[in-house]
Amino acid sequence: MAQTGRPLSPHLQVYKWQVQMATSILHRATGIVLSVGSILILWGLIALASGQDAFDSFRACAGSALGLIVLIGWTWAFFFHLCNGIRHLVQDTGTGYAIQQFVRTSWASIILSIVLTLVVWAYLFTGGAA
Protein backbone atom coordinates (compact mmCIF):
# COMPACT_ATOMS: atom_id res chain seq x y z
CA MET A 1 0.00 0.00 0.00
CA ALA A 2 1.20 3.52 -0.73
CA GLN A 3 2.50 5.16 2.43
CA THR A 4 0.53 8.38 2.23
CA GLY A 5 0.35 8.94 5.98
CA ARG A 6 -3.37 9.54 5.71
CA PRO A 7 -5.63 7.91 8.29
CA LEU A 8 -7.07 4.59 7.23
CA SER A 9 -10.65 3.49 7.40
CA PRO A 10 -12.33 1.65 9.06
CA HIS A 11 -10.86 2.00 12.54
CA LEU A 12 -12.41 -1.17 13.84
CA GLN A 13 -10.67 -0.89 17.19
CA VAL A 14 -12.35 2.40 18.12
CA TYR A 15 -15.88 1.14 17.58
CA LYS A 16 -18.03 -0.38 20.29
CA TRP A 17 -18.72 -3.95 19.21
CA GLN A 18 -22.14 -4.32 17.57
CA VAL A 19 -23.94 -7.31 16.15
CA GLN A 20 -24.09 -5.82 12.63
CA MET A 21 -20.30 -5.80 12.60
CA ALA A 22 -20.30 -9.47 13.46
CA THR A 23 -22.78 -10.42 10.74
CA SER A 24 -20.93 -8.31 8.19
CA ILE A 25 -17.55 -9.89 8.83
CA LEU A 26 -19.07 -13.36 9.24
CA HIS A 27 -20.73 -13.01 5.84
CA ARG A 28 -17.31 -12.57 4.27
CA ALA A 29 -15.71 -15.25 6.42
CA THR A 30 -18.41 -17.82 5.65
CA GLY A 31 -18.23 -16.82 1.97
CA ILE A 32 -14.53 -17.68 1.95
CA VAL A 33 -15.18 -20.91 3.87
CA LEU A 34 -17.88 -21.93 1.40
CA SER A 35 -15.64 -21.12 -1.57
CA VAL A 36 -13.02 -23.48 -0.18
CA GLY A 37 -15.78 -25.90 0.86
CA SER A 38 -16.93 -26.16 -2.76
CA ILE A 39 -14.01 -28.61 -3.07
CA LEU A 40 -16.07 -31.02 -0.91
CA ILE A 41 -18.95 -30.89 -3.39
CA LEU A 42 -16.52 -31.47 -6.26
CA TRP A 43 -14.90 -34.34 -4.36
CA GLY A 44 -18.26 -36.04 -3.83
CA LEU A 45 -19.38 -35.62 -7.45
CA ILE A 46 -16.05 -36.73 -8.90
CA ALA A 47 -15.99 -39.74 -6.55
CA LEU A 48 -19.49 -40.63 -7.70
CA ALA A 49 -18.38 -40.42 -11.33
CA SER A 50 -15.17 -42.38 -10.72
CA GLY A 51 -16.68 -45.53 -9.28
CA GLN A 52 -17.52 -47.54 -6.19
CA ASP A 53 -14.04 -47.46 -4.59
CA ALA A 54 -13.61 -43.70 -4.87
CA PHE A 55 -17.13 -43.18 -3.56
CA ASP A 56 -16.52 -45.51 -0.59
CA SER A 57 -13.39 -43.64 0.45
CA PHE A 58 -15.24 -40.32 0.09
CA ARG A 59 -17.95 -41.72 2.36
CA ALA A 60 -15.40 -42.99 4.88
CA CYS A 61 -13.74 -39.56 5.05
CA ALA A 62 -17.08 -37.75 5.34
CA GLY A 63 -18.20 -40.11 8.11
CA SER A 64 -14.98 -39.91 10.13
CA ALA A 65 -14.75 -37.73 13.25
CA LEU A 66 -12.79 -35.04 11.42
CA GLY A 67 -15.13 -35.30 8.45
CA LEU A 68 -18.18 -34.76 10.65
CA ILE A 69 -16.61 -31.74 12.35
CA VAL A 70 -15.83 -30.20 8.96
CA LEU A 71 -19.32 -30.98 7.67
CA ILE A 72 -21.04 -29.52 10.73
CA GLY A 73 -18.93 -26.36 10.40
CA TRP A 74 -19.68 -26.28 6.68
CA THR A 75 -23.42 -26.64 7.37
CA TRP A 76 -23.41 -23.67 9.73
CA ALA A 77 -21.34 -21.57 7.32
CA PHE A 78 -23.83 -22.42 4.58
CA PHE A 79 -26.91 -21.59 6.65
CA PHE A 80 -25.41 -18.36 7.93
CA HIS A 81 -24.43 -17.21 4.44
CA LEU A 82 -27.89 -18.22 3.20
CA CYS A 83 -29.84 -16.42 5.96
CA ASN A 84 -27.66 -13.34 5.96
CA GLY A 85 -27.53 -13.38 2.16
CA ILE A 86 -31.32 -13.28 1.97
CA ARG A 87 -31.18 -10.43 4.52
CA HIS A 88 -28.82 -8.56 2.20
CA LEU A 89 -31.03 -9.22 -0.82
CA VAL A 90 -33.99 -7.76 1.08
CA GLN A 91 -31.89 -4.76 2.08
CA ASP A 92 -30.92 -4.31 -1.58
CA THR A 93 -34.56 -3.43 -2.23
CA GLY A 94 -34.09 -0.53 0.17
CA THR A 95 -36.02 -1.94 3.12
CA GLY A 96 -34.93 -2.83 6.63
CA TYR A 97 -32.43 -0.02 7.14
CA ALA A 98 -33.83 1.37 10.40
CA ILE A 99 -31.23 0.75 13.11
CA GLN A 100 -33.56 -1.42 15.14
CA GLN A 101 -34.49 -3.56 12.12
CA PHE A 102 -30.82 -3.82 11.23
CA VAL A 103 -29.93 -5.14 14.68
CA ARG A 104 -32.92 -7.43 14.84
CA THR A 105 -32.36 -9.02 11.42
CA SER A 106 -28.67 -9.46 12.26
CA TRP A 107 -29.58 -11.51 15.30
CA ALA A 108 -32.20 -13.36 13.27
CA SER A 109 -29.51 -14.44 10.77
CA ILE A 110 -27.26 -15.71 13.54
CA ILE A 111 -29.94 -17.50 15.54
CA LEU A 112 -31.74 -18.98 12.54
CA SER A 113 -28.48 -20.32 11.09
CA ILE A 114 -27.67 -22.08 14.38
CA VAL A 115 -31.19 -23.49 14.68
CA LEU A 116 -31.19 -24.79 11.09
CA THR A 117 -27.77 -26.41 11.62
CA LEU A 118 -29.04 -28.12 14.77
CA VAL A 119 -32.18 -29.30 12.97
CA VAL A 120 -30.23 -30.84 10.08
CA TRP A 121 -27.74 -32.61 12.33
CA ALA A 122 -30.37 -33.76 14.81
CA TYR A 123 -32.17 -35.27 11.81
CA LEU A 124 -28.96 -36.99 10.69
CA PHE A 125 -27.85 -38.23 14.10
CA THR A 126 -31.26 -39.62 14.98
CA GLY A 127 -31.12 -41.63 11.77
CA GLY A 128 -33.96 -39.67 10.22
CA ALA A 129 -32.61 -40.25 6.75
CA ALA A 130 -32.32 -44.03 7.16
What residue numbers does the annotated binding site cover?
81
56 sits near another protein (criterion: CB under 8 A) = yes
124 sits near another protein (criterion: CB under 8 A) = yes
In angstroms, what is the C-alpha Rg of the chain? 19
Q: What gap in Å lies between CA 12 and CA 73, rounded to an integer?
A: 26
C-alpha 78: how far from its chain's center? 4
From 20, 32, 69, 104, residue interacting with another protein (rule: CB under 8 A): 32
Q: What gap in Å lies between CA 111 and CA 57, rounded to an integer?
A: 34
65 sits near another protein (criterion: CB under 8 A) = no
Which listed range, 14-22, 47-55, 94-102, 104-112, lies at the site for another protein (CB under 8 A)? 47-55
30 and 88 Cβ atoms separated by less than 8 Å: no
Binding residues for heme are 81
CA geometry: angle 81, 87, 93, nearest 5 deg? 135
What is the binding site for another protein (CB under 8 A)? Answer: 1, 28, 31-32, 34-35, 38-39, 41-42, 45-46, 48-49, 52, 55-56, 78, 82, 85-86, 88-89, 92, 120, 123-124, 129-130
